[in-house]
Amino acid sequence: MSTKSKILFLMAFMVLVVMLAVQFMTGMWLNLNSILLVVACGLVILAVLLDYRMYWEFLTMRTTKHGMNMGAIIFPAQWDPKLGIHVT
């Protein structure tokens, strides 16, 4: 992961902390919170786009002898078929 992406993720985290602090202090949702949320999401998207090759390589990496890739391993692992719900 590049240094620029790490900085963008850190900035997004700090913006979210500020947004939560404003939310906690005022006790209501302000228009400022919406703006901060959009800025944080934009920073995360920009960080992912800067290193999209790394994420693509990770999700398409072959991990089993049958040729299943990492994306095929991660996403079904989050699903519980008995309950029919997303399990985290």
Residue 47, both tokens = 């960080």
Higher pLDDT, 76 or 43: 43
Structure tokens at 45: 């998207």
79, 86 in Cβ contact below 8 A? Answer: yes
The 10s digit of each residue's pLDDT in 19-37 is: 999 999 998 888 888 899 9
Contact indicator for 31, 23 with CB cutoff of 8 Å: no
Task: For 35-47, write each residue's pLDDT tens digit.
Answer: 999 999 999 999 9
> Domain extents for the chain?
3-78
4-8, 17-21, 62-66: which has the minimum mean pLDDT?
62-66
Judge whether 55 and 48 are in contact, CB under 8 Å: yes
Beta bridge partners of 62: 69
